[in-house]
Amino acid sequence: MTRMALSNTPTTATVEDAPAISRALARAFHDDPMMRWFFPDAATREDGLTRYFSTLFTRQYGLHGVCERTDAAAAFWVSPEGREKAVPDAGTVRELAGVLGDRAGPFREAVEAAAAHTPPEPHWYLAVVGADPGARGQGHGSALLRSGLAKADAAGLPVHLESSKPENLPVYEHFGFVVLGEASLPGGGPALWAMRRPPRDPSA
């Protein structure tokens, strides 16, 4: 059987895309150190991650962020204008706590620690980007990165992100990010690298 090619052209994500986006991101982050720490049981991790990303998308980033998808990947960005609104409200926190179970405490501490180190400069924030492992190598993640970075460049603003997967650092560096620092999540969690990409001239 011939395998159907998956489009890697970014499109705006809508609420109807939530199931596909959540499944793709759950598979993408199955081996991510931070997500393994939040969801330590490998047997239930994919289900937990699917619910986790569905909550983030439908209640938070899908409402106040800039969310794009391809046929096998998704990215959630936050512009300076959406920064305050993109903070999880009480209902979202409760829903995430239900998904995380006894790992809700470490998750809350990690979010608070990250919020305390939010850069003061106006910037775009890359909250999530991931591609289904079955489609890696087809340019899905790269297309989403280029699309979001182009928006930040058009606004003349830098981009910030955090990554807990050391293998991803060279990928981000290829797109112009530099490591600002390394820290460990509270409670013995994995290392987290903060990265920044300065704005580029869109006409260059």
Kindly report the pTM of this predicted structure. 0.93
Q: Is residue 3 part of a domain?
A: no
Q: In terms of pLDDT, which residue wins out, 84 or 50?
A: 50
Question: How many whole angstroms from its chain centre is CA 87?
Answer: 14
Q: Is residue 2 part of a domain?
A: no
Q: Is residue 164 part of a domain?
A: yes
Sign of the torsion angle spanned by Cα atoms 76, 193, 164, 102: negative
pLDDT for 129-148, tens place per residue? Answer: 999 999 988 999 999 999 99
Report DSSP state, residue 176.
Answer: T
Instruction: Spell 131-158 as b/e; 16+ CB within 10 A means b.
Output: bbeebeebbbbbbbbebbbebbbebebb
Spatial neighbors of 102 by CB under 8 A, at least 6 apart, are: none
Instruction: State the residue range of the domain holding 58.
Output: 11-197
Q: How many domains does the chain have?
A: 1
pLDDT for 63-84, tens place per residue? Answer: 999 999 999 999 999 999 988 8
Q: Is residue 42 part of a domain?
A: yes
Q: Is residue 172 part of a domain?
A: yes
Is residue 114 within 8 A of residue 164, CB to CB? The reply is no
Q: Is residue 4 part of a domain?
A: no
CATH number for the domain that contains residue 75: 3.40.630.30
Q: Is residue 204 part of a domain?
A: no
Task: Give the three-class secondary structure for 127.
Answer: strand
Sign of the torsion angle spanned by Cα atoms 119, 39, 175, 7: negative
Q: Is residue 54 part of a domain?
A: yes
**Distance from C-alpha of 20 to C-alpha of 24, rounded to nearest angstrom:** 6
Q: What is the pLDDT of residue 1?
A: 39
**Distance from C-alpha of 104 to C-alpha of 55, rounded to nearest angstrom:** 14
